[in-house]
């Protein structure tokens, strides 16, 4: 959940590392630091973002170093707890969690510890072995043999001039390759401005990097083959392009991101072609269950698709929290179950762990992800679907959500056709998806109206989001977004569940956002709940494809695009509502407190 950036070459290192860390701040931060290696180590640290670093304290002539943006797991945000950590002759940056760090303290002089972190203990253990062997690579290897937990590390030392040692287990690292220089990062976004040639470290690999050489080993120091890959997506600008925040920009990028997701996949003749999922005709014909696994927004996207896939395919579709799946028994017939793993980054720790558990159970696994070359992309057994949504710089996910839903709808349409079901289902899905981008463009024009509403609604701290059928998971995503960004206490319920407990909290200080569906029967049922809320003095905002109901206090009318895709239009409204309320409250729109973009620890 933190960012690592490193460089060794012939150019001044501090600006390269600083720019890379800025690229990584979307992953979450509470502090930052840079260490450069010359005859000694020069370090600057700060609480907050990278702009707080004292860059003048670093020598502009030094040509190697490491840097870090931290999201706290051990120890509160503070300068001592910020990375890089130096213990003895070893300086280290670390992503992950060292589970047995208390036991490892037995190897070091704990009176020299300056922080509360597990990472500094690891630096101390490497220093302990460096004193014995005099070799930084060997010392790191010996220290990691003692470690239980996850790590992505970059290590430097004055005892090993010109060298960076990096290693990975469960936390991503990528090495950028260029002529007489190398880069290290936890995310390729940090290095795309410098090179498109990369090496993705696999679990339990360690590398020794200098300006003009790279050696790759396993953690027993057996040589490994090096595979240099080309980044498939070009570097993306961090310019705001006139928007006030990245969240606003990315909400407005959804028509484009959806076009990219559908390009070459949804065809004008109503067919859907997907080359990514490696499913045979036998796999498809034998399919009896679909299992969708994700966290947070990815979970909500999967939940929305659950309703639509069951309607398309006529088979059970289960949605699971990745943080729960691996720890409980599910009675799934592995032979006839397709497990779909959803993650914007492809590096979500809980989702990766669940993927490995599903493979252990011999399930067919595919990934729906946004990051080419990520762990999930590499480890799924039956391919998957890249979203091509582009970089999401804001911590709160918007365009990845809509692209995930679109990917699942495309997958459902393809499976429906190949399994011999009604061809009209696939054509309907394809035509709705084709029309969706224009309707979202129209929906985005509601922003001024929604901003005006937000001035009235931002006074409420307790919100309910209510929806029936596929609008229930849309309500879940709406509640999650406004909680994340506006720090509003929000809960989502299936509309019919309101009277089974939640209605006890309704009063004139409470706001309910009621999503009224197009379906006539469910619309009528939802109106009953609206009346129940009003009878108890509650305040109501309705979102609907129909005009305002008399009982509603506030209303947003949206277009009806189709039974499979309407939820994405409602969702854009709720994203704009979150943006407007958070802006009115003066919150940090792109970097909400305590949150990280890519959650790479459990």
DSSP 594: T
Banded model confidence at residue 598, pLDDT cuts 50, 70, 90: low
Q: To the nearest whole percent, how much of the chain has pLDDT over 90?
A: 78
Catalytic machinery residues: 2, 597
Inter-helix orientation angle 566-585/423-444, to 10°:
30
Neighbours of 217 (CB within 10 A): 17
Total count of residues recorded for the chain: 602
Q: What is the pLDDT of residues 32-66, one digit of tens each?
A: 999 999 999 999 999 988 889 999 999 999 999 99
Mean pLDDT over 154-165 rounds to 97
Q: What is the pLDDT of residues 264-297, one digit of tens each?
A: 999 989 999 999 999 999 999 999 999 999 999 9
Residue identified by tokens 């239980």 is 148
Q: Indicate whether this model's pTM tops 0.85.
A: no
The alpha helices in 199-290, defined as continuous H runs, are: 246-252, 254-262, 281-285
Q: Write out the two tokens for 337.
A: 């179950």
Domains in the chain, ordered, with CATH? 3-230 (3.60.20.10), 237-439 (3.40.50.10490), 445-589 (3.40.50.10490)
Neighbours of 263 (CB within 10 A): 9
Please tell me the number of Cα atoms within 13 Å of 565 on its side-chain side: 25
Cα–Cα nearest to 533, from 494, 502, 556, 488 = 502
Higher pLDDT, 30 or 572: 572
Q: Write out the two tokens for 365.
A: 């696994």
Higher pLDDT, 144 or 390: 144
Q: What is the pLDDT of residues 426-461, one digit of tens each?
A: 999 999 999 999 999 999 999 999 999 999 999 999
pLDDT above 60 for 93: yes
Cα distances (Å, whole numbers) of residue 57 to 43, 74, 437: 8, 27, 49
Largest separation between any pair of C-alpha atoms in the chain: 79
């Amino acid at each position: 959940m933190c960012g690592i950036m490193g460089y060794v070459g012939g150019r001044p290192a501090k600006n390269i590392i600083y720019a890379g860390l800025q690229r990584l701040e979307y992953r979450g931060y509470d502090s930052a630091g840079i260490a450069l290696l010359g005859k000694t180590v020069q370090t600057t640290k700060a609480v907050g973002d990278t702009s707080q670093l004292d860059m003048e304290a670093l020598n502009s002539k030094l040509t190697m170093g490491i840097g870090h943006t931290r999201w706290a797991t051990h120890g509160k945000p503070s300068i001592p707890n910020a990375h890089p950590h130096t213990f003895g002759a070893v300086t280290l940056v670390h992503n992950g969690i060292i589970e047995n760090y208390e036991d490892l303290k037995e190897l070091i002089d704990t009176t020299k510890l300056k922080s509360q972190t597990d990472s500094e203990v690891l630096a101390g253990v490497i220093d302990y072995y460096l004193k014995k062997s005099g070799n930084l690579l060997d010392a790191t290897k010996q220290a990691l043999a003692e470690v239980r937990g996850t790590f992505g590390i970059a290590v430097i030392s004055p005892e090993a001039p010109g060298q960076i040692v990096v290693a990975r287990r469960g936390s991503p690292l990528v090495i950028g390759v260029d002529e007489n220089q190398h880069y290290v990062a936890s995310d390729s976004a940090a290095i795309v401005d410098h090179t498109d040639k990369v090496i993705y470290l696999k679990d339990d690999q360690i590398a020794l990097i200098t300006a003009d050489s790279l050696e790759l080993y396993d953690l027993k120091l057996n040589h490994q083959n090096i595979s240099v890959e080309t980044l498939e997506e070009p570097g993306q600008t961090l310019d705001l392009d006139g928007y006030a925040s990245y969240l606003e920009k990315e909400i407005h990028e959804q028509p484009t991101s959806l076009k990219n997701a559908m390009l070459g996949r949804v065809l004008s003749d109503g067919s859907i072609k997907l080359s990514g999922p490696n499913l045979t005709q036998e796999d498809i014909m034998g399919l009896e269950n679909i299992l969708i696994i994700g966290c947070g927004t990815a979970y909500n996207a999967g939940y929305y698709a659950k309703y639509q896939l069951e309607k398309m395919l006529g088979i059970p579709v289960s949605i699971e929290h990745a943080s729960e799946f691996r720890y409980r028994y599910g009675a799934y017939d592995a032979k006839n179950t397709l497990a779909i793993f959803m993650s914007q980054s492809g590096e979500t720790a809980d989702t990766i762990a669940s993927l490995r558990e599903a493979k252990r159970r011999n399930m067919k696994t595919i990934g729906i992800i946004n990051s080419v070359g990520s762990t999930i992309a590499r480890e799924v057994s039956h391919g998957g679907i890249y979203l091509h949504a582009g970089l999401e710089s804001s911590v709160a996910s918007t365009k990845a959500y809509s692209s995930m839903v679109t990917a699942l709808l495309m997958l459902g349409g393809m499976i429906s056709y190949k399994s011999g079901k009604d061809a009209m289902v696939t054509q309907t899905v394809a035509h709705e998806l084709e029309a969706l981008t224009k309707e979202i463009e129209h929906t985005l024009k509601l922003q001024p109206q929604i901003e005006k509403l937000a001035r009235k609604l931002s006074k409420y701290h307790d919100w309910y989001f209510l929806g029936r059928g596929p609008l229930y998971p849309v309500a879940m995503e709406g509640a999650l977004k406004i909680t994340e960004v506006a720090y509003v206490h929000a809960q989502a319920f299936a509309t019919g569940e309101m009277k089974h407990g939640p209605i006890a909290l309704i009063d004139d200080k409470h706001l309910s956002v009621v999503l009224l569906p197009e379906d006539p029967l469910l619309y009528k049922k939802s109106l009953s709940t609206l009346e129940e809320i009003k009878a108890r003095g509650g305040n109501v905002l309705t979102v609907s494809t129909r005009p305002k109901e008399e009982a509603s206090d506030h209303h947003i009318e949206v277009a009806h695009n189709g039974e499979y895709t309407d939820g994405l239009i409602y969702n854009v409204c709720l994203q704009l509502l979150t943006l407007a309320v958070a802006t009115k409250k003066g919150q940090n729109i792109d970097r909400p407190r305590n949150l990280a973009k890519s959650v790479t620890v459990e």
